A and B are shown apart, each in its own frame.
Chain A
Amino acid sequence: MAIVTSSRKACTVNPLKMSQPIGAALAFLGLDQCLPVLHGAQGCTAFGLVLFVRHFRETIPLQTTAMNEVTTILGGLENLEQAIINIHNRAHPQVIGIASTGLTETKGDDVDGFLQLIRQKHPELDGTALIYVSTPDYQGAFQDGWGKVVAQLVEKLVQPAARPAPAQVNVLAGSHLTVGDLEELRDIIEAFGLQPVILPDLSGSLDGHVPEDFLPTTLGGTGVAQIQSMGASCHTLAIGEHLRAAAVTLEEKTGVPFTLFDRLTGLEASDRLFQCLAELSGQPVPVKYRRQRSQLVDAMLDGHFFFGGRKVALGAEPDLLWQFGMWLSEMGCTLGAVVTTTASPLLEKLPIEEVLIGDLEDLEQRAAGCDLLLTHSHGRQAAERLAIPFFRAGLPLFDRLGAAHRLNIGYRGTRDLVFEIGNLFLATQPEHHSDSWPLPGENHGTASQIEACH
């Protein structure tokens, strides 16, 4: 059981955290024909955009209300109205996703009120969903913004169903899942004869494919009609603690019950998913996945030698931290240092004495003596200084290809993680020398020192 503390430093050094509005923006990017807009200065958008371009290596549709000093002080109604009209006229999206920023929150813009006025004035927007979340930069972190968008989409768009769709299953997907994870999850669910509606679905929009046309909105992702139909599903699978609020709202609104999966990485975690799907569908677990389970068990048997007793240092958002931290400890690793970005009920359940809400400097200091550093790409310099293996996980991953297609879940994803991380440990097995085991009282000279004497 961990004690959760916050860093007491006045200065954050080498940030681990990214801000809420861009977490919100990325969730919006998992909707079909959507254009997210940040209500703030144009830099708020530009930084998020560059970050996502570097991670996904894709065009990122993301707009700004381009607030300046004067419009901030006078209030952002006009800019928001212009932005929505411009976006509507130029890009014709089905959904315009709006996230506030530190700037407009400090001023205190009443965006909900603004949107009502804009709706009244512009009937041409009647067919366009305008979804707003309040995401000040100075509160919470990336995954909080993501969670708010999913909850808001459920709140505003999902309707109780007239006719149930017994084979349809909702998947509320957390920000810690990759495009590769979502594709895997879809395949698994479909293998049980069920039809998943994944919200948000980055595997439709940011999976890195070559479309036949160039559009200024997202291409693919969850459609508005699909979201509306979620009330008809037989069940909701919520993947990640930060989606609990959305799952509860969905149940309250429509009566669709939910199962929350805190993670899908690891043997038992995967078992829970497959068992749940077998029960929901009334189908046995397909042969293909039984075989994959057996492969994972074998990988664990082969690989555990290299995990046992190894100390790992992790820096990640709470749900990703939980996914990797719990799985690594199930493989025999000890959590040596754990740093995260924002509060979560998961944190105190981690098997370590202290979880720190802090930065990569904190992580680097605590990682001394650890055998592996796991965090996003910004940890690469720390890993170099610590001279320990580095496993990249989370967002941004800008110094590796294929960030979106990493697979970390299910039997197959976990099996490959055993190999990949196991190989990092395997490559750093300690080497022994003739004088590695001196008796007490003997001179502790190393081989090289003795050589130097001759």
Chain B
Amino acid sequence: MGALNSKMDAVFDEPGCAINQGKSNKARKKGCSKPLAPGAAAGGCAFDGAKIALQPVTDVVHLVHGPIACEGNSWDNRHAASSGSTLYRIGFTTDIGELDVVYGGEKRLFKAIREVIEKYDPPAVFVYQTCVTALIGDDVEAVCQAASARFGKPVIPVNAPGFAGSKNLGNKLAGEALLDYVIGSEEPEVTTPCDINIYGEYNLAGELWQVKPLFDRLGIRLLANISGDARYRDIACSHRARAAMMVCSKALINLARKMEERYGIPYFEGSFYGVSDTSEALRQMTRLLVQRGAPDDLPARAEALIRSEEARVWARLAPYKARLQGKRVLLITGGVKSWSVVAALQEVGMEVVGTSVKKSTREDKQRIKQIMGEEAHLFEELAPREMYRMLKEAQADIMMSGGRSQFVALKAKTPWLDINQERHYAYAGYEGVVELVEQIARAMDNPIWRQVRQPAPWAAENGG
């Protein structure tokens, strides 16, 4: 566990992290592993976070070393889309039994790696450590090293056992695994002055494909998206990008910073949610690329594209304004999505009556205040019961949140829209704004709301 502990210390002391910058030296040393309250905690573990960050790599085997729970209870439960291989959707696990716990699971792991290579011949195998196998002392790094040597294929240890901490920590440890074992291990056939990376975009419901055409149109080549719809080779070659964008503010910041440090790839933090954010992302990307030697006319071409795409999106949104003007939204989500979605909603005249800022950084919060005004309700913690009360009292016309609080809204007979990982619709870029607004309108305009709020004809006036 020594290696894991020093890794954890390193990612906790992330200088690129806004929260960390605001801390005293002493507080920074303590790390950011907020102690979880037993009996009152929610959310995934570090293993979950690592899997979220890496599972979207489509052409590799993702092999979970642990008991059945870690993979068996959770596999294939997100909608990261692929334009090619479907190997990433197959669940692989060593499914260790009691004897492995007693005698150690390393041999089983080695055999499992051999089996998957023989059966599927992937370009690489990602091996995920879990709590039980960490506790019994299985040395995943050593097994991966031996298997790499034996089978002549990259076998990548992802050392983020669940009990190491939160989902967010797992995201970062996944980034470390890529930095340590994958990035820089291969060379692209050709490079261009317009090669870019995107970090933290998982292509959920195909969102990457809503923005990739914009870059294509400008002649910007997406060398590696980490990790949605990525091939192993894309990531192995990603050190040759000229500039990068980081889209999920807290997930892969260590990756972004170290890519700059090691390979001189400058990055900016941006978002593809909302019209102005998408335009701003294109502007920043072209600006960075020109600094790194891209043709001087790139920004001008970007401006032309932005003008025409913005005009097109406004024209498509105009019909919705009449329907959505003044409607009130309760937005329950984390991190970057809060402020970036707020902007998108305001663009069609909706009012955000409150948003959660549990996972947001200090910068995120300032930005939300800027956008929403000082009187906006920023909830650090909104208990389901309180949420339910607000909706029951009709303090909002629609709630947007992750699947976890879906039923709070629905049981309060309030329209609800899924904006987390499990969602089926894609909301990125200009296209995504139109889709988001279309889905909001569909949810709110559905004729069921009038019917389901009506008490049964025989019920007392205040009963249901």
Cβ–Cβ contact A102 & B69, under 8 A: yes
Closest beta carbon of chain B to A101's beta carbon, Å: 7
Closest beta carbon of chain A to B196's beta carbon, Å: 33
A216 part of interface (Cβ distance < 8 Å): yes
A437 part of interface (Cβ distance < 8 Å): no
Cβ–Cβ contact B68 & A68, under 8 A: no
Interface centre among A11, A21, A40, A54 (most CB of B within 10 A): A11
**Given A65-B39, A72-B163, A90-B40: A48 and B404 interface contact (C-beta under 8 Å):** no
Q: Given B43, B68, B96, B132, which contacts A17 in the complex, CB threshold below 8 Å?
A: B68
Interface centre among B42, B47, B94, B403 (most CB of A within 10 A): B42
Cβ–Cβ contact B37 & A214, under 8 A: no
B252 part of interface (Cβ distance < 8 Å): no
Q: Which of B71-79, B173-181, B266-274 contacts A (4 or more CB under 8 A)?
A: B71-79
Cβ–Cβ contact B73 & A22, under 8 A: yes
Chain A 36-64 near chain B by CB (<8 Å), digits 1 or 0: 01001111101111110110011100011
Residue of A whose beta carbon sits closest to that of B113: A11
Q: What CA separation (Å) do A40 and B38 show in the bound complex?
A: 10
Q: What CA separation (Å) do A57 and B404 show in the bound complex?
A: 10
Cβ–Cβ contact A138 & B411, under 8 A: no
Interface centre among B38, B77, B131, B385 (most CB of A within 10 A): B38
Q: What CA separation (Å) do A106 and B33 show in the bound complex?
A: 24
Cβ–Cβ contact A15 & B93, under 8 A: yes
Residue of A whose beta carbon sits closest to that of B164: A69
B397 part of interface (Cβ distance < 8 Å): no
- By a CB distance below 8 angstroms, the chain B residues around A79 are 38
B358 part of interface (Cβ distance < 8 Å): no
Cβ–Cβ contact A82 & B100, under 8 A: no
A373 part of interface (Cβ distance < 8 Å): no
Chain B residues within 8 Å of chain A by Cβ, number: 76
Residue of A whose beta carbon sits closest to that of B5: A69
Cβ–Cβ contact A82 & B92, under 8 A: no
Cβ–Cβ contact B39 & A37, under 8 A: yes
Cβ–Cβ contact B39 & A42, under 8 A: no
Cβ–Cβ contact B74 & A47, under 8 A: yes
**Given A41-B163, A43-B44, A138-B100: A15 and B75 interface contact (C-beta under 8 Å):** yes
Could you tell me which residues of chain A, from 319 to 346, have a CB within 8 Å of some CB in chain B? none
**Given A68-B163, A214-B408: A19 and B91 interface contact (C-beta under 8 Å):** no
Q: What CA separation (Å) do A218 and B59 show in the bound complex?
A: 42
Cβ–Cβ contact A9 & B163, under 8 A: no
Interface centre among B37, B66, B163 (most CB of A within 10 A): B163
A31 part of interface (Cβ distance < 8 Å): no
Q: Given A51, A67, A216, which contacts B74 in the complex, CB threshold below 8 Å?
A: A51
Q: What CA separation (Å) do A138 and B103 show in the bound complex?
A: 13
- By a CB distance below 8 angstroms, the chain B residues around A214 are 384-385, 388-389, 408, 411-412
Q: What CA separation (Å) do A350 and B36 show in the bound complex?
A: 47
- By a CB distance below 8 angstroms, the chain A residues around B73 are 18-19, 22, 47-48, 51
B89 part of interface (Cβ distance < 8 Å): yes
**Given A14-B91, A47-B69: A216 and B385 interface contact (C-beta under 8 Å):** yes
Cβ–Cβ contact A83 & B38, under 8 A: yes
Closest beta carbon of chain A to B167's beta carbon, Å: 8
A107 part of interface (Cβ distance < 8 Å): yes
Cβ–Cβ contact B39 & A85, under 8 A: yes
- By a CB distance below 8 angstroms, the chain A residues around B136 are 106
Q: What CA separation (Å) do A87 and B38 show in the bound complex?
A: 9
Residue of B whose beta carbon sits closest to that of A19: B69
**Given A42-B41, A50-B74: A17 and B95 interface contact (C-beta under 8 Å):** yes
A12 part of interface (Cβ distance < 8 Å): yes
Cβ–Cβ contact B48 & A12, under 8 A: no
Q: What CA separation (Å) do A215 and B165 show in the bound complex?
A: 28
Chain A 390-411 near chain B by CB (<8 Å), digits 1 or 0: 0000000010000000000000
- By a CB distance below 8 angstroms, the chain A residues around B140 are none
Closest beta carbon of chain A to B252's beta carbon, Å: 20
Cβ–Cβ contact B108 & A210, under 8 A: no
Cβ–Cβ contact B132 & A19, under 8 A: no
Q: What CA separation (Å) do A139 and B92 show in the bound complex?
A: 18
Q: What CA separation (Å) do A161 and B403 show in the bound complex?
A: 45
Cβ–Cβ contact B45 & A58, under 8 A: no
Closest beta carbon of chain B to A40's beta carbon, Å: 8
Cβ–Cβ contact B70 & A87, under 8 A: no
Chain A 91-116 near chain B by CB (<8 Å), digits 1 or 0: 00000000001110011000000000
Closest beta carbon of chain A to B45's beta carbon, Å: 3
Closest beta carbon of chain A to B413's beta carbon, Å: 7
Could you tell me which residues of chain B, from 67 to 117, have a CB within 8 Å of some CB in chain A? 67-77, 86, 89-98, 100-101, 108-109, 111-116
Q: What CA separation (Å) do A9 and B63 show in the bound complex?
A: 14
Residue of B whose beta carbon sits closest to that of A378: B76
Cβ–Cβ contact A41 & B45, under 8 A: yes
Cβ–Cβ contact B111 & A68, under 8 A: no
B311 part of interface (Cβ distance < 8 Å): no
Cβ–Cβ contact B93 & A46, under 8 A: no
A234 part of interface (Cβ distance < 8 Å): no
Residue of A whose beta carbon sits closest to that of B119: A13
Cβ–Cβ contact B135 & A43, under 8 A: no
Cβ–Cβ contact B37 & A15, under 8 A: no
A80 part of interface (Cβ distance < 8 Å): yes
B449 part of interface (Cβ distance < 8 Å): no
Closest beta carbon of chain A to B70's beta carbon, Å: 7
Cβ–Cβ contact A15 & B69, under 8 A: no
Residue of A whose beta carbon sits closest to that of B132: A102
Q: What CA separation (Å) do A59 and B402 show in the bound complex?
A: 12
Could you tell me which residues of chain B, from 40 to 57, have a CB within 8 Å of some CB in chain A? 40-48
Residue of A whose beta carbon sits closest to that of B110: A10
**Given A18-B72, A19-B68, A66-B38: A103 and B93 interface contact (C-beta under 8 Å):** no
- By a CB distance below 8 angstroms, the chain A residues around B98 are 136, 138-139
Q: What CA separation (Å) do A216 and B113 show in the bound complex?
A: 43
Closest beta carbon of chain B to A257's beta carbon, Å: 35
- By a CB distance below 8 angstroms, the chain B residues around A101 are 69
**Given A43-B47, A72-B135, A106-B132: A64 and B41 interface contact (C-beta under 8 Å):** yes
Closest beta carbon of chain B to A132's beta carbon, Å: 15
**Given A44-B162, A59-B384: A11 and B112 interface contact (C-beta under 8 Å):** yes
Q: Given A41, A58, A67, A141, which contacts B68 in the complex, CB threshold below 8 Å?
A: A141
- By a CB distance below 8 angstroms, the chain A residues around B111 are 10-11
Closest beta carbon of chain A to B3's beta carbon, Å: 13
Residue of B whose beta carbon sits closest to that of A61: B384
- By a CB distance below 8 angstroms, the chain A residues around B67 are 19, 102, 136-138
Cβ–Cβ contact B69 & A22, under 8 A: yes
Q: Given A18, A53, A72, which contacts B403 in the complex, CB threshold below 8 Å?
A: A53
Cβ–Cβ contact A69 & B39, under 8 A: no
Could you tell me which residues of chain B, from 161 to 207, have a CB within 8 Å of some CB in chain A? 161-166
Q: What CA separation (Å) do A52 and B257 show in the bound complex?
A: 38
Could you pull out 12 A-B pairs where Cβ atoms are within 8 angstroms?
A10-B114, A13-B91, A14-B75, A15-B91, A18-B72, A37-B39, A46-B44, A50-B74, A59-B411, A69-B134, A214-B384, A378-B91
15 additional contacts (CB under 8 A) given A10-B114, A12-B95, A63-B40: A12-B68, A17-B72, A22-B73, A46-B48, A47-B70, A68-B164, A72-B163, A86-B38, A86-B39, A90-B40, A102-B101, A107-B135, A136-B98, A141-B68, A216-B385
A-B complex: 8 closest residue pairs judged by Cβ atoms: A43-B45, A83-B39, A86-B39, A11-B112, A10-B111, A83-B38, A137-B67, A19-B69
B interface, CB within 8 angstroms of A = 1, 33, 36-48, 63, 66-77, 86, 89-98, 100-101, 108-109, 111-116, 119, 131-132, 134-136, 161-166, 384-385, 388-389, 403-404, 406-408, 411-413, 422, 452, 464
A interface, CB within 8 angstroms of B = 9-15, 17-19, 21-22, 37, 40-44, 46-51, 53-54, 57-59, 63-69, 72, 79-80, 82-87, 90, 101-103, 106-107, 136-139, 141, 210-212, 214-216, 359, 378, 381, 398
